[in-house]
Structure formats: C-alpha cells, structure tokens
Structure 1
Amino acid sequence: MNKDTLEFLSDLTENNNKEWMDANRDWYQETRKGFLGTVGDLLEELKKRQPGLEGLRPKDCIFRQNRDIRFSANKAPYKNNMGAYFSPGGKKSVGPGYYLHIQPRECFLAGGIWMPAAEQLKKIRQEIDYSGAELEKIIKAPSFKSAFGDIHGERLKTSPRDYSTDHPHIDLLRLKSFVVTHPLTDQEVLSDGLVETCLGYYSKMDEFHAFLAQAVDDADGGEGII
C-alpha cells in the first residue's frame, strides 16, 4: 500500500470529477498499483488455506473505481474508497468471502454474505432452522464477539414466511445479510503489518464462513461474496 493512498482518496473525495481525475491520472495509477500489491500479498496468503481461491489474480478481486451512476441520484463518477473481495470466483462471487475497504478514517475489513439472492437467503434460513444453535455458538464465542461484535445486516420487521415469531433463532432468521466487520485505523492500513492484521481477523471468520458455505452450496455451487 502506498503511503499516500489515503491522501489520494481524500483529495478525490473533495474533487470527484473527471477533470481532476484526468489531471491526476498518474497519481491514481500509482495508488492503484500499490493497492494491487497489497491485495496480491493477501491473496497469496489466503490461497494457502483456501484452495478455492487458486487461479484468482489480484485484479479479479478489486472493484472498479468508477461508480455506476445510471440509477443513482449521486452523479459523482468515482468511488471515494478502494475495495477488494476474496472469494472463489473473485469480486463477482455470491457466497461467503473476505472484504477489505480502504477509505480515510473509515477503513475496515469484513466477511460473510451481503444481500444474498432469494434462493440463497432461503437456503441460509433453512440451515439456521436446522442448525441455528451451531451458528449461535460460533457468533457468541468470546474471540469472535470481541473481534466483530454482532452480525450486521438489514432485518425483517416480522418473521420470514414459513417461520413462527417464537422460533428459537428468529433474530437470525430475520436477517437479510450476514456480515461481520472490524474497523481499521488509518495507521494500521498504512503500516507494514496490514496483511498480517487482516489474516488474523479473517481466520476468526472461518467457522462463520463454513456455516454459510454449507448453507448456500446447493444454491450456487459454493462460490461467494460478502
């Protein structure tokens, strides 16, 4: 990671237009190159314990800097962050994976599945119905809880179809996303120990991911994204 990555993103936030980007194209390319290097280092380490990542290249995991503004009221052309997703199939996968988000004063790492499609969500809820006690045990373990707190995600206000309001795991069944996060300071992101820090927290997600992967395997072949 280049030491001026956050400075670049901060300036981009204040000057989010094509004219500024064109004038600072070289700075952007150098910043992106540094981020690609960090993502590559992370990917190589993750491949040692996640065989499904074999064959992925760093650019397969990094999201585009350009925003899709076709259906957005916000017409700023560029994202004010850099992000990468590590999962079989790369950034376009739809099952559990690891995420890294770089943004001045708002950096974080994450894992899980974000807004699964209807068929996947149905599968996850079925798994919770059958084995919710197992998921409860995973997410309430002291090491998991201290690292990530609670699962994040939009929730239904009522119980999902086919599940009663007094289901023992109704709080989990109401979730529409299954994501855990851990904040990173700007200093951590720019330090030489970033990869090691990320790997340490990603390893704490392994049982959580295994549960989600088992749930969605029949739905999509086990490929994933948060």
Structure 2
Amino acid sequence: MKSVINFLQQLQANNNREWFHAHKEEYKAAQSRFHAFAETMIAQIAQFDPTVAGLTAKDVTYRIQRDTRFSADKRPYKGHMGLFIARGGKKSGYSGYYFQLGADQNAADFGGIHWESQHIIAPGHYCIEPKALRILREDIMDGEGDFDKLVREIADTRFQLLHFNELKRNPKGFPADAPWSEYLRLKSFCLAFAPTTEEVTAADFPERLAQYFSTTTPFLNYINRAIDFAREEE
C-alpha cells in the first residue's frame, strides 16, 4: 500500500494531465496493487456478508479522474483510490463497505474527515433513493429504538455516525416531535473514521479492515431492508 500512497502523493503534487500521461505506467502499477487489495477485501467480507461474494475489483472500484462539471475545484484527478463493496456492486443502490486510500492526512472538511485525500473507512449509504429513504425513516420512527441501539453499539467502536448535509427540521410527513428525530433528519446514513498511514500500511490491515467492517453489518442490513422493501413495492 505504501507504493500506492507514494503515487497518490506525487499525483497531488503534479495534478495535471500532462504529468499523469507521462507517468501512466506508474498509475497502472498503483491501480493494479489497489485492485488486488479490493479482491482481497471482497473475499474477507464475503466470510461474514455472503451477499458480496463473487464481485470483482471492477465492480467495486472507481476511476481516478474527478468529475469537475459542477465543482469549483478543476483539478483533473482525485487524491485517493476508493472501493465500495456492496451487494450487486457499487452501482446497485444498496448500502455497503467503503474504504479509500488517500495521499495524505490533511485537516478535516467536516466531521473530522477530509474526503478528498485522507484514508477513510466509511460503511453506509450516501444517496438513498427517495422512496427507500422514506421507508427507512418510518422504520426508525416506529422501531421502538432498535436503530438507536445499533448506533449506540457502534459508538463503542471507532466509528461515528456522520451528521452532515442534514435537514434542519423533520421531513414532510413526520411530526416535529417524532421519536428519534435526530436520525429522521439525516439524508445520508454513514459511519466513518480516519485510520492512520501506519495502520493502512501494516501487513495485517486487510484482516483488521474486515473486522472493522463486520461490526457495521447490522447497520447496513437495516438500511438495505428498507431498500429491498421499496423495490418490492415498485
């Protein structure tokens, strides 16, 4: 993993197309190393979450190119390589296990995490389809604290439930005094923490990452249950 981080650091210091094309072979080597790591993680996660069995690196990894169409930041390349291991792959719409290897450990954007270039472990779902989000909120409101119990159990680990881009008041159709309103106002349901470079470059990191992820499977299952129900109603 050190070689991948080294490449990302060089790319961030020379974030332009000319440098990238001149170092295309170095990129391919770093990409190959990260894809091998992704395959290892699929196998590790499938031991406790068989819904991801059979996925390939292509199913769970992302392009290094940034989408700059709607961003003020026009740098062409990301400061990280990421994977999202979810049932059906990264485009399935299900919640899953996210990890990114970053170029550095710079200061936070929000929640103590700098998403562009930090190492991040972040299982969850960032963009739940509206129908499934409504059902998830109903499950939380009517669940007699079962979701809160999941979050509190996870709080005993290194993960935190991120509160960003959330509503200022309860969504339409949910009373202002609804139980568990702090969760109803969320638009993204994501757990996260930022490991150190020493951790992600350790020889046993794949096993440790799988262990971290395994503690969050009940949280993901809760979200995916709502997604399944929404799709069954279609």
Paired residue secondary structure (1:101): strand
Does the 8 A contact of 1:138 with 1:208 survive in 2?
yes
1:128 maps to: 140
1:64 maps to: 63
CA separation in 1, counterparts of 2:48 and 2:15? 39
CA separation in 1, counterparts of 2:209 and 2:163? 19
Does the 8 A contact of 1:83 with 1:99 survive in 2?
yes
Task: Give 1:31 deviation, angstroms.
Answer: 0.7
Does the 8 A contact of 2:49 with 2:217 survive in 1?
no
Task: Give 1:215 deviation, angstroms.
Answer: 1.6
- Which aligned pairs between 1:45-84 and structure 2 lie closer than 5 A? 45-84=44-83
> Structure 2 counterpart of 1:7, which letter?
N
2:149 maps to: 137
CA separation in 1, counterparts of 2:22 and 2:163? 39
- Which aligned pairs between 1:13-92 and structure 2 lie closer than 5 A? 13-92=12-91
192, 195, 202: which one aligns with 1:191: 202
2:119 maps to: 107
2:111 maps to: none
Deviations 1:191-212 (A, max 9, x none): 1111011111101101111211
TM-score, normalised to structure 1, is: 0.91
2:227 maps to: 216
Task: Give 1:114 deviation, angstroms.
Answer: 0.8
Paired residue secondary structure (2:18): helix
Are residues 132 and 36 of structure 1, via their aligned partners in 2, closer, same or farther at CA, if it must alter by over 3 Å?
A: farther
Does the 8 A contact of 1:153 with 1:178 survive in 2?
no
Task: Give 1:5 deviation, angstroms.
Answer: 1.4
CA separation in 2, counterparts of 1:95 and 1:162? 24
CA separation in 2, counterparts of 1:132 and 1:33? 47
CA separation in 1, counterparts of 2:159 and 2:144? 19
CA separation in 1, counterparts of 2:35 and 2:57? 6
145, 168, 173: which one aligns with 1:162: 173
Paired residue secondary structure (2:222): helix
Query: Which structure shows the higher helix fraction?
Result: 1
Deviations 1:138-188 (A, max 9, x none): 1112x5433213344421101111111111211110111100012111111
CA separation in 1, counterparts of 2:192 and 2:144? 21
Paired residue secondary structure (2:158): helix
Paired residue secondary structure (1:8): helix
Deviations 1:103-144 (A, max 9, x none): 122211111111212112111111112215001111112x54
> Structure 2 counterpart of 1:115, which letter?
C
148, 153, 175: which one aligns with 2:159: 148
2:186 maps to: 175
1:207 aligns with 2:207: no
Does the 8 A contact of 1:144 with 1:204 survive in 2?
no
Which structure 2 residue ranges, 5 or more long, are not aligned?
A: 106-117
Aligned length: 219
TM-score, normalised to structure 2, is: 0.88
Does the 8 A contact of 1:149 with 1:180 survive in 2?
yes
Does the 8 A contact of 1:153 with 1:179 survive in 2?
no
Percent of pairs with identical residues: 31
Task: Calculate the aligned-residue CA RMSD, in Å.
Answer: 1.6
CA separation in 2, counterparts of 1:42 and 1:133? 32
1:116 maps to: 128
> Structure 2 counterpart of 1:183, which letter?
A
Paired residue secondary structure (1:199): helix
